[in-house]
Homo-oligomer: A and B are copies of this chain.
Amino acid sequence: MVAPRLRSRRLSEPTISRLPIYQRIAQSWLERGESRIDSSRIGELAGVTATTVRRDLAGLGALGTRGTGYDASLLNERIGEALGHDRRYSVAVVGLGNLGRALVNSSHFLIRGAVLSALYDTDPDVIGSTIAGHVVRDFAGPIEQATVAVLCVPARAAQPVADRLVAAGIHGLLNFAPEVLVVPIGTAVHYVDFSIELQILMYHLNNGTGPLGGGVLHSLGVSAGS
């Protein structure tokens, strides 16, 4: 009667979107040389209540210590496991304009199990050049298998590019183009839209509301603390 997988516990959507934030907080705590952190401090930085933090973390199993709080290092590790970081996966990047370059050159984009597999572009001046240690390939040529693909292409190109990637067997798309994609069942698309994020920020600024919002952290008025 041993549970087959801890990860099989289904986490709620809001929890999933908060876990990476807690992880980041745990990491920054470690960098400052602090080893322990409690739920109220995490909540303060993440813009949620301490109870929410405890509920979220309890879903990963009992990893705190009563009276003392959580071990930042253990927290970092367990959240990583819950999000599937212990599995390796490959990432292809399509489109190496400023955004694509920013992503592949960032030391924080590909972390925890993510491995850059290939870069593609359609610009003859870019094809063949080396970026972040990878030679850029022609997107018109063969597409190598990868777990997910990141679309950093113009809006108009997004749909045809997505079609081609799905046809090549890539079923996870991270789309930075401001375009709604139509994909077959079984393919996951996650959108990141800069102008939408700006709009959400403006809404909160105008209405003075909401300690937490969006899929990514939105915190309003975290107190400075000690």
Contacts and interface: CB of A to CB of B under 8 A. Distances in A.
B148 A87 contact: no
A90 to B, nearest CB: 11
The SS class assigned to the A binding surface is mixed
A172 B184 contact: no
Contacts of A50: none
Copy number in the complex reads 2
A174 interface: yes
A84 B203 contact: yes
A21 B196 contact: yes
A46 interface: yes
Contacts of A103: 194
Interface stretch (A55-63, A121-129, A213-221): A213-221
Interface string A46-85: 1000000000000000000000000000000000000111
6 contacts: A21-B191, A83-B203, A102-B102, A183-B222, A189-B219, A192-B192
